[in-house]
Copies of this chain bind each other. A is one copy, B any other.
Amino acid sequence: MATATEKAGILIEALPYIRTFYGKTFVIKYGGHAMLDPQLRKAVLLDIVLLRYIGVRPVVVHGGGTEISEMLRRIGKEPTFVQGLRVTDAETMEIVQMVLVGKINHELVAQINAQGAKAVGLSGKDGNLFVAEKYTAGGVDLGFVGEIKAVHPELVVNLTDQGYIPVIAPVAVGPDGESYNINADTAAGELAAALGAEKLIMLTDVEGIMLDPKDPATLLSTLAVEQAYALIGEGRIDGGMIPKVEACVKALRQGVARTHIIDGRQLHSLLLEIFTDRGTGTMIVA
């Protein structure tokens, strides 16, 4: 166990990072094990509260696929996916919203507040934060799956200015006020761009991007945008990692300074990424 002096030393070692990130906005995509496992979850939320207290402006965008599928099954409906995207009929969309907004978002807000910070839960409908249209790219009708067409970040800016931590569910509003299910990775990336964030950090269930996904020794600590495209072309980045990498690339192109894909399964990986020289996971840079 660290001695008192070691403790002081560690606080002092964090100083250069605290200085650098003071007043900056970090958009954190939160999901996977880090959200489902209670101990990891508590650690992530503490990390976020700490960030707020030392002057960073964290903004959280969360997912919730597992809980949505669970709830669908509870009302006797089997979840269906086409090309990795959830087929979202009207009844499914109703459940998506209830789980994302009424359960997950709501619980996250309460848990952050219990740590002494001030969180406010939002969806993309509040203040028209995320405006979407029906997603039509795949040629298949997926129902209420949307593509973001516009981001109105004023409400988020107002709330962070006043010291709140916005916690955002990935639901968007359509042209007629209808709801759309949107990808949380994409939403986090678009929001980071609209806010001119300093960092976009994706908490995932892998250690980062690896040349050989089975061999942790091939973890890439830094990845340039061109390399990322090459790896996608070669099929070395695939599945759920593709939208994450694309969200990072898009955010970088719109002015976000740094994007990170880190391992949410590691305790306090968020703080470690921010407060150590080595960082964790993979940083994608322009």
A98-B155 Cα distance, complex, nearest whole Å: 23
Query: Does the CB pair A173–B103 fall under 8 Å?
Result: no
Interface centre among A2, A10, A106, A120 (most CB of B within 10 A): A106
> How far, in angstroms, from A7 to B8 measured CA to CA in the complex?
11
Cβ contact within 8 Å between A7 and B276: yes
Chain B residues with CB below 8 A from A18, complex form: 50, 53-54
Candidates B103, B118, B121, B271; contact of A128 at CB < 8 Å: B118
Stretch at the interface among A109-117, A143-151, A222-230, A257-265: A109-117
Contacts of A6 in B (CB 8 A): 2, 10
A164 within 8 A of B: yes
- A135 at the binding interface (Cβ < 8 Å): no
CB pair B113 A102 closer than 8 Å = no
Residues of B near A97 (CB, < 8 A) are 102-103, 106
Query: Residue of B at shortest CB range from A42?
Result: B12
If over half of A's interface residues share one DSSP class (helix, strand or loop), that class is named, otherwise mixed; here it is: helix
**Interface set, chain A 89-134, CB cutoff 8 A to B:** 94, 97-103, 105-106, 109-111, 113-116, 118-123, 125-128
The B-contacting residues of A in range 1-36, CB under 8 angstroms, are 2, 4-16, 18-19, 22
A195 to B16 Cα, complex, angstroms: 29
Q: Are B120 and A179 in contact (CB under 8 A)?
A: no
Residue ID in chain B nearest A1 by CB atoms? B6
A75 / chain B contacts, CB cutoff of 8 Å:
74-75
Query: In the complex, which residues 226-275 of chain A have their Cβ closer than 8 Å to any Cβ of chain B?
Result: 267-268, 271-272, 275
A75 CB → nearest B CB, Å: 5
With a cutoff of 8 Å between Cβ atoms, the chain B residues found around residue A197 in the complex are none
Given contacts A18-B50, A103-B102, A118-B127, contact A179 B275 (CB under 8 A): no
Chain A residues 48-89 with CB under 8 Å of chain B are 49-50, 53-55, 71, 74-75
Mind listing 17 A-B residue pairs with CB under 8 Å? Answer: A6-B10, A8-B47, A8-B268, A8-B275, A11-B14, A11-B275, A12-B46, A12-B50, A15-B46, A15-B49, A16-B116, A53-B54, A113-B125, A114-B176, A118-B155, A120-B122, A121-B121
Given contacts A4-B276, A15-B49, A15-B50, 14 further A-B contacts (CB under 8 A): A6-B10, A7-B10, A8-B275, A12-B271, A15-B116, A22-B53, A71-B98, A101-B106, A101-B121, A102-B106, A113-B125, A119-B127, A121-B126, A158-B158
